[in-house]
Chain A
Amino acid sequence: MTAWRTRAAALLREPLVHFLVAGALIFVVLSGRPPDTGERRIVVDEAVVTGLVNNYVQAFRRPPSDEELDGLIRDYVRGEVYYREALRLGLDQDDDVVKKRLRNKMLAIAGAEAEATRPSDAQLQALLDKDPGRYALPPRYTLEQRYLGADTPALRAAAKAQLAALKPGADPALPGEPFPLPGQLQDSPVLDIATQFGDDFALALEKAPEGVWTGPVPSGFGLHLVKVIRRDRPPPPKLADVRQRLENDWRSAAVRKAEDDNLNALLKGYDVVIERPK
C-alpha cells in the first residue's frame, strides 16, 4: 500500500466525508423542491459531540473544558446553519473550490476500492499474456568488442579490408583505441548493452554471426569490431519470474481504471452538450 491508498482509506472512514457525500446527494435529490422539516432540524447528538471532543483532543492534547465544549457546539451549530443556508441559496453553485473538493472526494472513493483488492494469479497471468513483449527477458550476449575510433569513411574502409583479410580463428591486428567500456561482455542483457553503447550497436548484434569477428559496427562513439561468442534468448517469462513487476503494473493501472470506469459509469447518466464559441 502506498501513502495514497492509506490516506484515501482514512478519508473513506472519515464521518465527515460520509456526511458531505450524503449531504451533496441529498442536495442533488432535493434541489428545486420546497424544504421539508428535516432540513430545518439541527440535531447535535452524542455522536456529533464525541466527534467534536475527539477533534479537540487531537489538536490540543487534552479534552475541552465544559465551557470550551459549549463553544465547540455553538460553533458546530453556526457552521450547520451557514452550510445549509448556503446550499439553499445555491452558493455552492459555480464555486470552483467546492467543485474541486467534491471531485477529489469522488476520485478518492473510486480509487480506494480498487486498492483494497489484491490481484489473483489469473489476473496477473492475463496481464502477462496481453503484453508478453513488455515482460520478455532480454536476450543476453557474451561478446568481444574492439573500439577503432570516431566514424570516418577511411576508418570504415580500413576495418572492412582488415576483416576481409582475416584468417578464420585469428584476431584482427587493428589496434583498438583506449576505451573505458569492457572489451569483453559476459552474459550481458541487450538492454544494458544498448544503454552503454547506443541502440544501433545493440541492434547490430541481433544479426551478427556467432564466433567470428564482424564489423565495422557503429555505436554512439564510433566504429567497433565485434565477435559475438554466445547469444542466449531466454524463454518467454513465467508468472513467477516477473510477479513483482506484474503486481506493480496491475495496481497502478487498477486505480486509474477504477477512476475511469467510475467516471464512464457516471457519464452514462448525463447528456454532455458542448457548444464552442464560433
Chain B
Amino acid sequence: MRRKVVLAALLLGTSGLIAGCDQVKNAVGGGAAEVKETEYPEKVLWGDTHLHTANSVDAFGFGVRLSPEDALRFARGEEVTSTTGLKAKLPRPLDFLVVTDHAEGLGATKALYDAPRMLITDPTMRRWYDMMHEGPEGSQRAMAEILDARGRNDLPEAMLNAGDAAERTKSVWKSNMETVEDYNEPGKFTAFHGFEYTLMQGGNNLHRNVIFRDGADKVGTVAPIDPTYKATPDEIWNYMEAYEKATGGRVLAIPHNSNLSNGLMFELTQPGGGPMTAAYAKRRAKLEPVVEITQIKGDSEAHPFLSPNDEFAGFGVAGWELSNLLGNQPKTPNMFAGEYVREALKRGLLLEAQMGVNPYKFGVIGSTDSHTALSTADEDQFFGKHTGNEPNPNRAMQPQNLGTRKGRFGWHYLASGYAAVWAKANTRAAIFDAMERREVYASTGPRMTVRFFGGWDFKADDLKGNWVQAGYKRGVPMGGELSGGKKGAPSFIVSALKDPIGANLDRVQVVKGWVDKSGKAQEKVFDVVWSDPGKRKPVGGKVPAVGDTVDVATATYKNSIGAPTLATVWTDPEFDPAVRAFYYVRVMEIPTPSWPAYDAVRFKLKLTPDVRVKQQERAYTSAIWYNPAKS
C-alpha cells in the first residue's frame, strides 16, 4: 500500500508544476524512440531469463492458467491475479523478462485439456485427461505421471504425433510472439523471444534456455524445436547456427540445473564418452556464454563434497543432491564434479590446458524457473515453483516427489534467483550483448549491486576517484580476461552494495580457481572485505561469522549488523604468472528469514526442525580469467 502512495507521489509530484514544460523533450513512451547506449554500463538491470506459463506442458498440468501476457504484466510491475486467486504484485518491477515455455509440446497439455474427450483415443491420455478435469490435485497427479513417462521415454504415440505438435507449436509461438512485441518497450522494459529446450537423458537434466537477440521479423522465421533423448546438445546448436546463418540474427543458450544432471552437464569428456574435441569445446563456449547458477530447484555454485574448506558451500543443495531431476537415478558423490559451477570453471581450465580451448568459460546468472507465470524470488513474496505451491499452509512441508517415492519437500525449493546484467541500455541488443561478453551476475533474490574489475595497476587510492570509469579504462569487468606478460600480480576492484530495501552485507569474497604445476585443479576462497573489520579479526585465515539478528517467531531481522556497502582493491597474494586461473566474487548478506519462516508466521505453522528457516542470501559474479603469456 505504501508503495502505491509513494509511486503516485513520485509520478505526479506535489507542487502542481506539470503544465508549462513544453521545452522538455520526451525520450520515452512512443516505443519507436531511439534508445542510446551509454559509453559503459552505468545501471545494473534485473530480470528473469527463465519463466513458464500455461503454455508449458508441465506448468499447465500443475494447474497454472496464466498466460505469457499475464507473466509480462506481472514482471512490469502490474498487479495480476494468480491461478489460485491471490493478488500478486512485485514490490519492484523487473527490467527484462524471457518467457521460456518448454518447446516440447508447446501448448500440448492445454490442447489435451481443451480437446473434446472423444477425440482422445489413447487410454493413457484419456486417463490423464480425466484426472486433469478432476481439479488441481488430479491435475498435479496427472502431471507427475506425464513427466515420469517423459523421463522413461514412454509417452503415448498420440501425444508425440509430430505433425500435430509442430503445427500447434507454430501457432502458439506465433501468437505469443505478438504479445512479446506488444510488451517490449526499448529503454524501459525488454521482452525477449525465447523457449526452453528440455534436453533430458533418462531423468538427467540437460535443459537449456534459448534466447534471441532479435525481433519478430527474424525470430518469426523459425519455431522452437523439440529436444532429443540423447545426451548431446548438438541438435539445438545446429538449430542456433542455422538460425544465425539464415537471418543474420543472434541467439544464445543458457544451461540450467546442472545440479540435477547426475554429472552430465559439465563433463570432462565428449558427451557419451571419448576425449572432448576442440571443435565441441569451441562451439559450446560460443553458443553458451552464460549458465544459470541458481534457481528455485536449488543452487549450483558449490557443493561441500567438492569444496570442504568453504563454510558457505552447499547453499540450497538439500533435497536436490539426492538424485537427478526426475528422481529415477540416485546421485553418487562422483557425479558432483560434473554438476557444480565452480568445479566446471576448474574443469574448463584443465581442458584448456589439454587442448587449447576452454568449453566452460561462461558467465553466470540466476533466474526463477517459476511455473506460475509469476517471477518471484523474494522470500516474503514467493509464489512457489508451480501452482500447487502458491502460498498455502501445506506447501512448506509437503513432499514434492514428481511421481517418485522419496526425498524432496516443499521447503527444499528456493525463492531464487534473478539475473543481473551490466548493459549499456535496456534493449534486447544491449542486454544480449552483455550476456555474450559475460558482464552479468547472479543473485539468489536480493538486488545487490556488484562491481568487479581486474587489471594490473589498481591501487586502494583508485576508490577515491571515479573508480567505475577507471575500472573500464584500465581493466576488464566481470566476464573479461587478463593476459599475462605484465609486471606484478593482477589487482581487482571489488565493490558490493546492499539491496536498497534488503539486508546488510556480511562479507565479500573472491573465489580463485587454478591448475597447479602437477596439473591438478585447485580452489581457494579469500575474504577480501567484510563488515566490522575492527571486531572481526580473521582466525586461521577465516573471518568469523557475522552474527544473526533473525527472529524466527516473527520472521524479521535487523540491519544492526553488517554493512550497507563494502569495497576494496584486492591483489592476489599467491599469484603465479605461469598458472592459468579464474577469479569470481561471492557477496554474502547477513542472515535473513527464509520463505518457510514467512509462511510459518502467515499461516501459523509449526515447522519441523529440519526446515531451513534462515539463510545468508548471496550474489555470484561471472569470473575474470587469467591466461598466462605463451612462452
Contact = CB atoms under 8 A, between A and B. Distances in A.
Chains A and B belong together in one complex: yes
Contact of B29 (A137, A206, A220): A137
B487 to A, nearest CB: 26
B279 interface: no
A241 B24 CA distance: 14
B22 A192 contact: no
A215 interface: no
A138 B9 CA distance: 10
Given A3-B176, A233-B18, A248 B182 contact: yes
Interface in B287-327: none
B135 A3 contact: no
Interface in A235-257: 235-237, 240-245, 247-248, 252
B490 interface: no
Nearest to B26: A234
Given A3-B176, A202-B10, A233-B17, A220 B499 contact: yes
Given A178-B463, A233-B13, A2 B565 contact: no
B238 interface: no
A233 B25 CA distance: 10
Contacts of B11: 133, 136, 138-139, 190-191
Interface string B548-578: 0000000000000001110100000000000
A252 B499 CA distance: 32
A5 B497 contact: no
Interface string B49-69: 000000100000000000111
Contacts of A242: 29
A3 B106 CA distance: 11
Contacts of A58: 164
Contacts of A207: 14
Given A55-B119, A59-B119, A206-B14, A198 B175 contact: no
Interface stretch (A25-33, A93-101, A258-266, A270-278): A93-101
Nearest to B23: A232
Contacts of A182: 42-43, 468
Chain B at the A interface: mostly helix, strand, loop or mixed? mixed
A11 B13 contact: no
Given A59-B158, A97-B133, A195-B92, A7 B24 contact: no
A222 interface: yes
Interface string B178-211: 1100110100000000000000000000000000
A93 B467 CA distance: 73
Contact of B135 (A14, A55, A96, A240): A96
A221 B504 CA distance: 9
Interface in B418-473: 449-451, 463-464, 466-468
A1 B118 contact: no
A13 interface: no
A7 B28 contact: no
A23 to B, nearest CB: 12
Given A219-B500, A233-B21, A236-B18, A2 B466 contact: no
A79 interface: yes
Interface string B572-595: 000000000000000000000000
A252 B73 contact: yes
Nearest to B22: A235
B19 A220 contact: no
Given A178-B567, A203-B9, A1 B163 contact: no
A193 to B, nearest CB: 9
Interface residues of B, number: 77
A113 B467 CA distance: 58
A240 B30 contact: yes
B214 interface: no
A207 B14 CA distance: 9
A206 B15 CA distance: 9
A7 B185 CA distance: 26
Interface in B151-176: 158, 161, 163-164, 171-172, 175-176
Contacts of A179: 497, 565, 567
A6 interface: yes
A22 to B, nearest CB: 14
Contacts of B134: 96-97
Interface string A176-193: 011111110001011110
A16 B10 contact: no
B497 A2 contact: no
A69 to B, nearest CB: 15
Interface string A131-150: 00100111110000001001
B121 interface: yes
A180 B497 contact: yes
A156 to B, nearest CB: 15
Given A2-B175, A194-B10, A233-B18, A100 B133 contact: yes
Nearest to B81: A256
Contact of A220 (B171, B175, B464, B501): B501
Contacts of B10: 138-139, 190-191, 194, 199, 202-203, 206
Contact of A189 (B28, B30, B497): B28
Contacts of A203: 6, 9-10
B161 A1 contact: no
Contacts of A150: 563-564
A35 interface: no
A100 B134 CA distance: 9
Interface string B109-135: 011001010110100000000100111
B42 A133 contact: no
Contacts of A197: 500
24 contacts: A1-B178, A2-B178, A3-B55, A3-B67, A6-B171, A6-B172, A59-B164, A100-B133, A136-B12, A136-B18, A137-B28, A179-B565, A180-B449, A180-B565, A181-B449, A190-B10, A195-B93, A198-B501, A203-B6, A221-B564, A233-B13, A233-B24, A241-B30, A244-B31
Given A7-B114, A96-B134, 18 more contacts: A2-B178, A4-B67, A58-B164, A79-B118, A138-B10, A138-B11, A139-B11, A178-B467, A194-B6, A195-B93, A196-B43, A206-B9, A206-B15, A220-B500, A222-B564, A235-B21, A235-B22, A248-B182
